[in-house]
Amino acid sequence: MTRASTFRLLARTTDPTNQLMLRAFRLLNPESSKSRSGGNVRLRGVGFLKQRRGWADPSPVNKGPGYRLRARAASEKGFTLIEVLVSALLVVLISAAVAEALVTSGDFTGYTRNHSQADVVAQQDQERMKAMSDAQLTALDQTRTVTLNNTKYTVTSTAEFLDANGGSSCTSRGAAYFKLTSTVGWSGAVGGSAKSVTEESLITRSLAGSMVASVNDQTAAPLAGVNINASGQNTSYTAAATTDQNGCVAFAGLPTDSYTLTYTDLGYVDVDGDSSPTETQSVNQTSTASANTMVMGLAGSVQPSFYTVNSAHTAIPLSGGYELSYYGSGNGNKMSAAKTVGSQTAPASSTAPLTATSLFPFWSPSTTYTNNYQLWGGACEQEQPLQPPTGTGTATVGPGATVVAPAGGTPSVAEPAIDVAVKYNGQYVAPGQVWVTFTGGGSGGACSDKWQNIPSAGTEVVSGVTNYIYPAPFASNAPVGASNASATGDPGTISVCVQYTTGSTTKHQSTSAMTNTNFTAPTPIPVWDLYSTGASGPCT
């Protein structure tokens, strides 16, 4: 019997045993056995691969009770693994929550204990301050550490004056009460952040020998951090304090005396550029003395450029000015008088830059710090021109600003020039030395300014003659208000002395008083023949 007839015979039988044998032992055709001789196959109904076993491998049985039992067993194994993982995760989460609750509970207990102890320390500090004298409480600002039950506390003790209404003593210019503040802090509280406890109280006892002093900046705002030292002129009693956020210091417990108050703050100056301004105030035991409000600002500086002119109206930059004067004002504040840097006797100052330092930053509501300083050459107020050349004669100096002008740049100072030509024995020669003496008067008082041995700024040819150009002070006799008058309206003149030396012989000659107001061309000096008209000796 052939294989085909055998297969048909088994297929026709209805016997269940035969059918089972047919499923288990059915033969594959040669082509099919070749294609299944190796490799992996995925069995239906099962989630994993099975190695091929060749053409005799039976097809998977995916029906019947056996298949269902095997599938259910495989499914239950997966669910069991998931249940184990979920249970483990829940255990971890619950354990973490319990641990956090225990830590938080411990922290809160520690916080409560520390808070109670800190409050005790703060109350003890309040009692300590109440036992202090008025002088000890003046501007008290003290920090110390206290250890209680192995916990370190930082204690900050402060005392400030209040007026009768509980306001700032600076505002009312009076001191009536001490306000005592104790702040006690510690670390390691809940969450690791620092915590603190504050206790406050008032001392209402009568304050004897009290004095209030205050400091503002250039904008009239309170200036904190200024050190004020009060020194008795007769009792030699001293006290010191630092201005608070209200720019205020209130002293108490001072013996009756006249006190010198000295104000200092690193980098700050008063309107006159003084880094340690002073004032005097008397104190008695029956009332509160009130000192004048001191005004201080962060100091700046300015280094302007200088120039003069020749007959072609060309500016000639100078390496430095001979002397530099300055005056500042703004917001109702002003310098008590102009100040000068530079030397009247040493010509070296005309070849080195001049810098004005310790300048108060004058301010005004409309222009802020713009052009808050006036600048001019010379040491007298009468040497300041009312109308200097446009863009010159002013400087803008803000708080802490360092203003340095490049050569020929702004801020700049213009100095009117003089032209000097001199002969000796009928021949034009280069001047040996040129001195200029300024004399001023009027309401500004008498002022004399001598520029000695001025270096020449250059030369120019005028009518075929070589002239030497020298910067000189501005000098005017014009009436008040005239465009070529001095800024103060006070008169001034200059006298020019020219000397020449040949061998052992020195001769000199001077002009009479003259003005010098031209900023567009040099003022000519008369030509002399020093050999015949000059006096013996140098300029003086």
The per-residue pLDDT for 320 is 81
Q: What is the pLDDT of residues 60-93, one digit of tens each?
A: 555 566 656 565 555 555 566 677 677 777 766 7
> Does 7 reside within a domain?
yes
Q: Residue 455: pLDDT above 60?
A: yes
* 370 and 404 part of one domain: yes
Residue with tokens 């204990």: 113
Is residue 520 within 8 A of residue 316, CB to CB? The reply is no
Kindly state whether residues 429 and 319 are assigned to the same domain: no
Does residue 517 form part of some domain? yes
Contact by Cβ (8 Å): 538, 433: yes
Domain interval for residue 257 = 211-297
pLDDT the model gives residue 350: 58
User: Which amino acid belongs to residue 284?
Assistant: N
pLDDT: is 437 or 194 the higher one?
437
Q: What is the pLDDT of residue 351?
A: 64
Does residue 369 surpass a pLDDT of 60?
yes
Alpha carbons 354 and 304: distance in angstroms, whole number: 7
Which residues contact residue 10 at a Cβ distance below 8 angstroms, ignoring those fewer than 6 apart?
18, 21, 22
What is the Cα 271 distance to its own chain's centre? Answer: 21
Judged by DSSP in three states, 23 sits in: helix
Give the count of alpha carbons within 13 A of 445, CB side only.
4
Strands (E), 81-164: 141-148, 151-162
pLDDT the model gives residue 506: 98
Phi first, then psi: what are they for 146, rounded to 5°?
Answer: -135, 130
Q: And the tokens for 151?
A: 């916990």
Tell me the average pLDDT of the chain.
Answer: 84
Q: What pLDDT does 74 receive?
A: 56
In a domain, 128, yes or no: no
Q: Is residue 19 part of a domain?
A: yes
Domain boundary (414, 439, 464) is at 414
Residue 259 lies in a domain: yes
75-89, 213-227, 311-325, 328-342: least confident range? 75-89
Pairing of strands 294-295, 211-216: parallel
Q: Which residue has the tokens 């003084």?
A: 274
The CA-atom distances, in angstroms, between 477 and each of 3, 27, 377, 493 are 147, 140, 18, 7
Neighbour-count burial for 101-134, b at 16+ CB within 10 Å, e otherwise: eeeeeeeeeebeebbebbeebbeebbeebeebeb
Number of domains in the chain: 4
Q: What is the per-residue pLDDT across 241-290, written as a single tens digit (0 to 9) for each?
A: 999 888 988 898 899 999 999 999 999 999 999 999 999 999 998 778 88
pTM higher than 0.75: no
Kindly state whether residue 116 falls inside one of the protein's structural domains: no
Token couple for 426: 């009928």
pLDDT above 50 for 9: no
Q: What is the pLDDT of residues 134-188, one digit of tens each?
A: 888 887 889 999 998 888 999 999 988 777 777 766 766 666 678 899 999 998 6
Residue 29 pLDDT level (bands cut at 50, 70, 90):
very low
pLDDT at 114 over 60: yes
Mean pLDDT calculated for residue range 441-446: 91
**Sign of the Cα pseudo-torsion (498, 501, 506, 507, in order):** negative
Question: Residues 410, 422: one domain?
Answer: no
CA 186, CA 179: separation in Å to the nearest integer?
A: 23
Query: Each residue of 470-522: pLDDT tens digit?
Result: 999 999 999 998 999 999 999 999 999 999 999 999 999 999 999 999 999 99
> Would you call 222 helix, strand, or coil by DSSP?
strand
Is 203 within the bounds of a domain? Answer: no
Q: What tokens does 450 get?
A: 């001598």
Give residue 95's pLDDT.
63
Res 16: pLDDT: 45
